[in-house]
Structure 1
Amino acid sequence: MWSFNPFTLATLTSLTLLTPTLALESWYTPPGGPPTGSGFNSTLNPSSTKIKGVNLGGWLILENWMTPSIFGVAGLPGKGDEDSVMDEWGLCERLGKTRCEEVLEEHWESFYTEDDFKRMADYGLNTVRIPVPYWIWNVTESEPFITGSQIPHLQRALNWSYVYGLDVILDMHALPGSQSSYQVHTGLYAQEGFSNSTENMDRALNAIEQMVAEFTKPEYGGVVTAIELVNEPWIEAYMPNNMPWELLEEFMVKAYDVVRSTEEIIPGRHEVMVIVHDAFGSLTDWTGGFFAPGGKGHNWTNYALDTHVYQAWSGITWDEGHIESACAQASYLEEAQRSVPVIVGEFSLGVQTFCVDYKDCFNLTLADALANITSTGGDRDMFLRAFWEAQMHAYEHAAGWIFWNFKTELAPTWSYDQSVAQNWVPLDLADRVWQYDASQAYCLQNQNWSNIPDFTPNTPAPLKDGTATPVREAMTLAVQGALLNSTSTSISTSATTTGSATAIVTGASASLTGTPSETGVPTSTGASNAALRHLMTSPWTWLAVATSGIILMT
């Protein structure tokens, strides 16, 4: 039995430093703009927190080039076969639902772990963008996809995001019928078919409604701060034989209304941000069109634009050209940012495609991939570090950036984790080797990479263990700090061998008992007159804080 004075949520969070950073929450766009903090000066939006994030791709939607090992399981085409399995549809169609679910469950369980989220926090990141497919919530009998089983894994990722102070964007990455032609990230490598029937739009809206209804519930603590309506839709104006602009516009308006009518808004917080992808059009087409007076999105609130900047398909063949192309993004992004928050939601260090034919990567190791990249010696490491810095200077003229991806099996320049390990990306995001010179097309001051004295490429980052304080340890320290000279409140805890736990605060106006669910999301009762906020971590460890006391469960 412990006795201690009750203390507030604010006191607790200041002790533990575990409150989410709310990078996305610091941006807000009223109808017609401009966004909060949009006044520009030499320090760029000092009142707003830049979004610094990573994508968790290749997880809840497979992409064969990112995880070729999954497409090498028994029953699928081997390295010498002409046949290929391009997407998750094909994987489950070939394996059958029972075997496919076994393969996917193992992948969902292991591809991202709590240690990954610790490292994201250690790296100074504040946001994760999680691609999700419609078929988690809405699937027909004719579709081979596994449905619903992903949710516990997604809940666990949200729990870890909350614990380690990461805002979450839930990105509807795939729509029924496919929103873009022959793209593996839609789950169906085929001609765009979203526009083929009104049923596809109805199903997409239903999936968004279910996603928003669940993950904006107060028990998730507001960790989901943004919803992206659809990833990379292709329209016929830019990509022939894809959906017409009018259909995409109709979908976005209806989807926005679904989000606003469904979400639960936590008191004191903004409504969830709604993000739209630029459909590979000009940002000014959006700021001067869809969001401008008379546009269908002019009366929206709390919205943002997502743009993806890749150079692997640019046709540029020389290193300086890649850096100059990155530098040129700064003024373009800054101009659009005056009207609406612009997030560079996908980019990488990749300047060439890798594992496009995933079977070429069967039986390769990460060491093989790194050897291929660094075979030209230190200059390659220097270029990749310079390419990173040029992109940072440009993208921080916008609301921020989200790297694709946090990890891959065999494409290190597309892996944030491996890029840090190779020192292409600094462990400290404030680190710069080159000074920025906006007046030059090549915006890095020093082009003579071999004369940089203090830079050592291939310095490994700590990849085994993060340095973020584990939740259990942090909470123990917080409670110990509150025990001094305390007599007015007591706490008792108990746990059974099955992992359920009970904690009751006495001497205060709040009490709580509960049993953690298998997903790690706590359930609670008896919390009358108390504002509870759940700090969710690994199964059987959870916390609830009341304004009049604290309840700790381990």
Structure 2
Amino acid sequence: MRASIGLVGLLASVQHVLAGTLPSKIYGVNIGGWLVLEPWMLPAEWEAMGGQICSDCSQCIGSEWSYTKAYPNIANAEFAKHWSTWFTQDDVNQLVADGINTARIPLGFWLVEPLVNRATEFYPEGGIVYLQQGVKMLSDAGIQVILDHHALPGVQTGDASFTGNCTEYVEFYTDYNYQRALVWTAVMTSLSHLDPNFASVFAIEAVNEPIMDADQTPGYGTFQKEFVDTVRAVELTLGIPVPGLLASGLPSRNTLVTTCAIPSFRRCLGLTVLYLVRFMDINWQYNNPSNPADAAIGPQGYDNHLYYSFGGVAAANPTAYMESICNLNRVQADAALGDTPLWFGEWGLPTQFNATDEFLYMWADAQKLAYSQGAGWIFWNFKVEQSELAGNLSRQWSYIEGVKLGFLTQDPSQYHNANVCEPYLTTS
């Protein structure tokens, strides 16, 4: 914390910019595969770079870590090509045309390069410049931004390319890596207030998809509180008023009260404080997890991800899917525990069965109806590769393609059939 506050102090003379705005209803997409590259989303490009596609990404060149380790002399240049072409102004223009108002940008901890131990950790360099360019394009287009800490130091969940290092060794839940994540948080908070390129950033998400078994995430509840403390302490250092905090520092948590309420909070504080800090909701985990609502100082938001295609949600048939989604009560269950506002930060159209076009029209409408009970939704992903190797991937994973095919409405607030759930509602 001391190191991160010192960094902000060096920047305190810079005029801070206004924070972005939480939309009245979030209609968003993830800018995935960009600054955290997931090879399954762009297999042809990945193989052309020299990467490999395999069923177990830990056993081949299947992540940013393994690629940079295998090709240390060309990794930075190859990733620079990817960063400059995967997400472009043309993509932003298309998102505007499709009515998108929010973008969630998955980021790796290695974007803050001094945090990386180059002797033992292998990640490409130079991504921060492309983040600056990307958030400026989004800001200029009027699209609000969430900075998502998607790939944490030490890896927050095992055997997943979205962590940047596909490995069974999960080491995020340690004091050392918690501290590195807090420094990352301080840097991103500082940029969000000081760099005009970041003018539409309204939230920073602490950890994408931690291990679901809370018994395997020791210290995570304490980290949640320290994450909030870090964001708010940076804002205090910059002279930004934060509800419940005194100019002299952080008081004890049981004295933190605010007279500014959502949605008037930012207006009350002069439209400068980050609107929300953001966590995966309490119901993401099991085995007596900590409640992120207990960490709140000022406004806070909550995230949940729901993919039926990975199993464990509903039986693999259209009727079971519709009955499940049409009776979803996650927004209400979270609110009862204080985790509100809730939005669904990842979802898509993929299924465990061969879905017909007719079903995908229904499936898109039903999910949008369910997720709009809360603060809104953010589709995974804005696009995926269209190539012979990728096959039919874009049909159910790409928002832009989903609109072109008609499964997703041109106006995201509209539906093909707003009564699609009526035949599937239960009375219990």
Q: Does 1:423 align with 2:399?
A: no
In structure 1, what is the equivalent of residue 121 of structure 2? 143
- Distance in 1 of aligned mates of 2:54 and 2:160: 22
Change beyond 3 A, Cα 1:50–1:78 = closer
Identical pairs, percent? 30
> More displaced, 210-219 or 222-231?
210-219
Question: Alignment partner for residue 203 of structure 1, among 152, 177, 180?
Answer: 180
Quote the offset at 1:60 in angstroms.
0.4
Mapped to 2, the partners of 1:435 and 1:208 lie a distance apart of: 40
Q: Does 1:269 align with 2:271?
A: yes
Alignment partners' CA distance in 1, 2:37 and 2:220: 24
- Whether contact under 8 Å (2:51, 2:62) holds in the other structure is no
Matches within 5 A, 1:21-420: 24=22, 49-73=24-48, 75-77=50-52, 84-96=60-72, 98-137=73-112, 138-141=115-118, 142-147=120-125, 149-195=126-172, 197-217=174-194, 219-220=196-197, 222-237=199-214, 242-244=216-218, 247-263=219-235, 265=240, 268-269=270-271, 271-272=273-274, 273-278=276-281, 281=284, 289-291=291-293, 296-297=294-295, 299-315=296-312, 316-329=315-328, 331-337=329-335, 339=338, 340-352=340-352, 380-409=356-385, 410=390, 411-412=393-394, 413-420=396-403
Q: Is the 8 A contact 1:126 1:165 kept in 2?
A: yes
Where does residue 541 of structure 1 map in the other structure? Answer: none
* 1:58-111 deviation digits (Å, cap 9, x = unpaired): 110111111112431365458899962221111111112x31111110000000
AA matched with 1:56: I
Structure 1 gap ranges (5+): 1-19, 27-48, 354-372, 374-378, 444-554
Decide whether aligned partners of structure 1 residues 196 and 156 sit closer, same or farther in structure 2, where only a CA change above 3 A counts: closer
CA distance in 1, matches of 2:310, 2:151: 22
Paired residue type of 1:155: Q
Q: Give the distance between the partners of 1:54 and 1:192, measured in 2 at CA.
A: 30
Deviations 1:172-207 (A, max 9, x none): 111111011212111111125335642211211111
SS in 2 for 1:225: strand
Residue deviations 1:418-472 (CA, integer Å, cap 9, x gap): 11111111112244232327665359xxxxxxxxxxxxxxxxxxxxxxxxxxxxx
The structure with the greater share of residues assigned to helix is 2
- What whole-Å deviation, never above 9, does each CA across 1:522-554 have from its counterpart, x for those lacking one? xxxxxxxxxxxxxxxxxxxxxxxxxxxxxxxxx
Please state if 1:434 is matched with 2:417.
Answer: yes
Question: Is the 1:229–1:274 contact (alpha carbons within 8 Å) kept by the matching residues of 2?
Answer: yes
Q: CA RMSD in A?
A: 3.0
Counterpart-to-counterpart distance in 1, 2:373 and 2:182:
33
Question: Is the Cα contact below 8 Å between 1:87 and 1:187 reproduced in 2?
Answer: yes
Q: Take 2:46 and 2:195, find their aligned partners in 1: how far apart are those partners?
A: 38
TM-score (norm 1): 0.60
Instruction: Tell me, in whole angstroms, the C-alpha distance in 2 between the residues paired with 1:183 and 1:401.
Output: 23
CA distance in 2, matches of 1:231, 1:64: 18
Cα distance 1:397–1:380, how it changes in 2: closer, same or farther (>3 A)? same
- Cα distance in 2 for partners of 1:78, 1:231 equals 23
> SS state of the match for residue 284, structure 2?
coil
Question: How far 1:334 moved relative to its partner?
Answer: 3.5
| Larger CA Rg, structure 1 vs 2 | 1
CA distance in 1, matches of 2:28, 2:55: 38
Cα pair 1:333 1:398 within 8 Å, conserved: yes
User: Aligned AA for 2:332?
Assistant: E
TM-score with structure 2 length normalisation? Answer: 0.77
Q: Compared with structure 1, are the counterparts of its residues 76 and 274 closer, same or farther at alpha carbon in structure 2 (3 Å cutoff)?
A: closer
Closer, same or farther: CA 221–88 of 1 in aligned 2, 3 Å: closer
In the TM superposition, what is the alpha-carbon distance from 1:152 to its structure 2 partner? 1.4
Checking the alignment, whether the CA contact within 8 Å between 2:30 and 2:381 is kept in structure 1 is: yes
Assess if the C-alpha contact under 8 Å between 2:278 and 2:303 holds in 1. Answer: yes
CA 1:145–1:81 in 2, change beyond 3 Å: closer, same or farther?
closer
3-state SS of 1:65 partner: helix
